[in-house]
Amino acid sequence: MDPSSVQAVARVVSDNVERVVVGKRREVSLVLVALLCRGHVLIEDVPGVGKTVLAKAIARSIGCTFKRIQFTPDLLPSDVTGVSVFNQQSGRFDYRPGPVVAQLVLADEINRATPKTQAALLEAMEEAQVTVDGVTHPLPAPFVVLATENPIEYEGTFPLPEAQLDRFLIRLSLGYPGRAGELEMLDRQHRAHPLDALGQVVRVEDMVAAQTAVKEVHVAQAVKEYILSLVEATRAHEDVYLGASPRGSLALYNASRAWAALQGRDYVIPDDVKELADPALSHRVIVTPAARMKNVDSRTVIADLLSRIPVPGAQPTPVATALRGAWGARGAAS
């Protein structure tokens, strides 16, 4: 599969999802970027804007197995990963898979569970496996976690630790739809929810092939250095207490390749990096208390760095340099 085929697959999925989620093309594309990179998504927004509907629409469009975990304070780690149950007939323990054993897992209101239960997802998100009673069980491919949280309500919540935030490839917010989009939503749900009639438009095998194709997207050395300059600058910024980790560099690198493939290109340009810098890095950056007092957040820091750090320019090839010299000599002679 080439990048143009990846673009075609993504367009079909996006068009299908937009039958349910109105006016959020960029946000749907960011979720597809995570799918193509085999990464995870944190959707941070207020209730009622379509976070759960987006996850269900993506799963139905691809035809992958889907499980939902409603995180609550009394949820136990075994409720996520599964348990081992003794089988009297065989005389051994059998593994009963938990809801995390699926290709697309919706971790709804993830910040409502205790840190111990949140930590049950760490191994699954990083290594696509779970360990129960000392036995490791692989998770199906592709495996993606779409987690949601409400950033406004703090009563009875447990903020995600930095180690878990770092495992999300992308963080995004859906936001309220525009007036025209909300009016269209009312019309579409006049008799039934459009999600009920949403069908599969691509095969899981097509998505796996697209994931492989994204790995062939070329990244020039200058673009790699631009990515590293952005990440290193988060660690030295005057308003930052903790900058992005090397995992952040990999996240921005892989996300930029996937974004380039969505545009039908087999190479990354600096604009791809700039487009993905905020979704891939902002949740990995912790600002200082003094910066918070000045209403500076991580997104403000990323925007500041994008405006400061010079974008790599095109390097002239030897042939172009020779031609330029010939044209200069011709002009001097005339």
Which CATH number goes with the domain that contains 176? 3.40.50.300
- Whether 60 and 133 map to the same domain: the answer is yes
**CA–CA gap between residue 251 and residue 231 (Å, rounded):** 11
| Structure confidence by residue, pLDDT tens digits, 259-281 | 999 999 999 999 999 999 999 99
- Whether 44 and 189 map to the same domain: the answer is yes
Region 79-95: mean pLDDT is 87
Q: Which residues pair with 132 in a beta bridge?
A: 135
Which CATH number goes with the domain that contains 264? 1.10.8.80
pLDDT given at position 249: 95
- Whether 92 and 197 map to the same domain: the answer is yes
pLDDT given at position 90: 83
Q: Tell me the pLDDT band of 154, cut-offs 50, 70 and 90.
A: low
Residue linked to tokens 């809801």: 99
Among 16-25, 44-53, 241-250, 279-288, the least confident range:
44-53
| Structure confidence by residue, pLDDT tens digits, 110-133 | 988 888 888 888 889 989 999 888
Is it the case that residue 323 has pLDDT exceeding 70?
no
Q: Tell me the pLDDT band of 319, cut-offs 50, 70 and 90.
A: very low
| 258 in a structural domain | yes
- Whether 165 and 229 map to the same domain: the answer is no
| 209 in a structural domain | no
pLDDT given at position 24: 87
pLDDT given at position 153: 67
**CA–CA gap between residue 100 and residue 81 (Å, rounded):** 6
- Whether 189 and 231 map to the same domain: the answer is no
| 323 in a structural domain | no
The pTM (predicted TM-score) of the whole model is 0.85
Please report the sign of the dihedral spanned by the C-alpha atoms of residue 222, residue 224, residue 230, residue 232: negative
Is it the case that residue 186 has pLDDT exceeding 60?
yes
- Whether 59 and 132 map to the same domain: the answer is yes
Split into its structural domains, the chain has a count of: 2
Domain of residue 251: give its range. 217-314
- Whether 221 and 170 map to the same domain: the answer is no
DSSP per-residue letters across 147-209: EEE-SS--TT--PPPHHHHTT-SEEE---PPPHHHHHHHHHHTSSS-GGGG----S-HHHHHH
- Whether 21 and 161 map to the same domain: the answer is yes
pLDDT given at position 321: 45
CB 198 within 8 A of CB 57: yes
